[in-house]
Chains A and B, each alone.
Chain A
Amino acid sequence: MADKNNDFKKNPFSLQVDLSRFSPSQFDLATEEEKAQQEVMSESTTFFKDGMRRLKKNPLAMMSIVVLVLIVLACVVGPMVVPYGYEEMISVNGRRDKTAKNLMPFTWSKNEQKAIDEGQKLFPHILGTDEQCRDYFVRILYGTRVSLAVGLFASIIVLIIGLLYGSVAGYAGGRVDLIMMRIVDIIYSLPDMLMVILLSVIMKETLAPLIQNTVLAGLGVNMISLFLVFALLYWVSMARLVRGQILTIKENEYILAARSIGAKPARIIRQHIIPNCLSVIIISTALQVPSAIFTESFLSFLGMGVQAPMPSLGSLANAARSGLQSYPHKLVFPAVVICLIVLSFNLLGDGLRDAFDPKLRR
């Protein structure tokens, strides 16, 4: 055999190191430290940390978070600082001030000017007043509160119904899935704006006697009918999304592995399926918020949203319509706030999707 090894001729173009030219003494054994270097692993990151890191790199998403935080802070803190109520007409020395009508931003009415000249200190009307002598800044803050609340709660309702419906359809599969998804298709094919308007008109009639003298009465019939409309109509896309997710995740081998271990369906859904489709659900909920705010504003603009004197951004814009030529700023402010909120949520949702959607992972 030794001859054979000597016969072996090295290909002149081969890059292989000819070990016969070295003696064993020329080699050192690897130290423990060097061995450890072979097993270098990157720092452990959880899925959430990894996503947040990517989200932080997205300037648009971070900016929209800042804008949203500022708006929420203003909504919460603003009404505490400003000494006017959203339905309170301006009064000077305890008497109604009828001259404080349709003031421009940072101006005073005649009576107020007089009071200031006498040495009183008054809080400025940052955005002026409306035609019923109410401070416009406070009204916009309250309107933003209402719009944000509607957006968030409607999204949560949509999330809960869509998640339950979609996961049942997706996990059960077969005939159950078929029937449940046809129902979704039927709801999906209805013209939604028409349905929203019809439903809110009908519900206003039927709900009013039902909720009298309950906690819900404080919310106003229109608000509740809005939520119900969302609950009835807007969950379908969420349900479809969740079902699709569960159908794909169900096919993964780790679900089979969990079954082979002996895990029960409830455990499989809780431990494996939900965590794996959570990111997609969170993202689409974030994208659902602006659409709910938009719908609310739209309905309020048509006069079917929240009940006066409670303002919402949509109803403020509607009220500003009448004096548009003289006081255009009254339309501009609520419109800008709506734009900011909707744009921020959309950009944030896009950012979340880029950061967390595993399919887009680079």
Chain B
Amino acid sequence: MSSEYLVEVKDLKQYFPVSTGFMKKTSLKAVDGVSFSIRPGETLGLVGESGCGKTTVGRTILRLYQPTGGEVLFDGRKVTNSNITELRKEMQMVFQDPYSSLDPRMTVEDIIGEPLDVHKLYSTRAERREKILNLMELVGLNAEHARRYAHEFSGGQRQRIGIARALAVDPRFIICDEPVSALDVSIQAQVVNMFEDLQKQLGVAYLFIAHDLLIVRHISDRIAVMYLGKIVEIADADELNDNPQHPYTISLLSAVPIPDPKITRQRKRIILQGDVPSPMHMPTGCAFRSRCRYATEQCARECPSLADRGNGHMVACWNK
């Protein structure tokens, strides 16, 4: 309990080796020096376009990948390979695809009970069953369905199973890796609301990864925006929404659909020029400069680091 933050990520780096032809290898910088921290019971939204390394950040925090550099502190303790098994009782993950993240040969009871089995969190079979039924009730699943197989459920129900599995060890921190992007919009709302209710009930902290800004804005206390493996802006959710600073964030926000045709017609969309550069051939200096309207020579020379603009609103840009 030494620190204010539950999770602290410091300069996390994740490079993947990629072979480019015979005997030649380069590294793909999926995550390149990401730092952020999450307070207990808080939700940090992590947004960015496809391939910017959001998912990799989540998986590296849980040590599903070996980080190339940097460190993760959980509750003041450094996460290492030797204590990760123990820490997986505190940190859990909800996966993106509810269809492939549940083993098709296991019943719901066994899927939710697996964390209990692995960490030996029960003494009798009856206790195990009781815990599983409580979890199913918590996520709004019918207890009668415990003996069913995952393929018999709809997408939303499957994602509830995945959430129940993550909650089984009573974690303090859950990484939600695009948990709703594979679901229907109507189901998305249900699941997002359930995430909020669970947070109120259990006080868990979330790292909520998504590419849908509307949902992230709804659920998050703070939002971090990622571009090509780096965080370009972090701010409180409302602050980021009302007063975006980084040119990438501004263009991202201008792309959020507003369910009102009048406003949509009036407002100006900022359409970025060009494509996302390949993470194997990053531009020098600022990664965004190849598509930025404000790019200057300084952007090409040096990469801007996150600087505080007051109230914890951090932006990595030279110009704005």
Contact = CB atoms under 8 A, between A and B. Distances in A.
A262 B64 CA distance: 10
Contacts of B162: 257
Interface in B189-212: none
A19 to B, nearest CB: 19
Contacts of B64: 256, 259-260
Contacts of B62: 260
B114 A44 contact: no
* Interface band, chain A: 20 to 34
A252 B100 contact: yes
B59 to A, nearest CB: 8
Given A44-B147, A272-B103, A256 B152 contact: no
A227 to B, nearest CB: 32
Contact of B85 (A39, A253, A262): A262
Nearest to B94: A257
A47 B149 contact: yes
A276 interface: yes
A259 B91 CA distance: 12
Interface in A237-260: 252-254, 256-260
Contacts of B88: 260-262
Given A254-B100, A275-B105, A260 B149 contact: no
Nearest to A272: B103
A360 to B, nearest CB: 15
Contacts of A261: 88, 92, 114-115, 118, 165, 169
A46 interface: yes
A262 B149 contact: no
A267 interface: yes
B121 to A, nearest CB: 11
Contact of A254 (B84, B102, B142, B147): B102
Contact of B100 (A39, A253, A272): A253
A41 interface: yes
B13 interface: no
Interface in B78-97: 84-85, 88-89, 92-93, 95-97
A276 B104 CA distance: 8
Contacts of A216: none
Interface in A335-362: 358
B218 interface: no
A272 B150 CA distance: 14
A263 interface: yes
Given A41-B148, A44-B148, A253-B95, A262 B89 contact: yes
Interface of B: 59, 62, 64, 84-85, 88-89, 92-93, 95-97, 100-106, 114-115, 118-119, 142, 145, 147-149, 152, 162, 165, 169
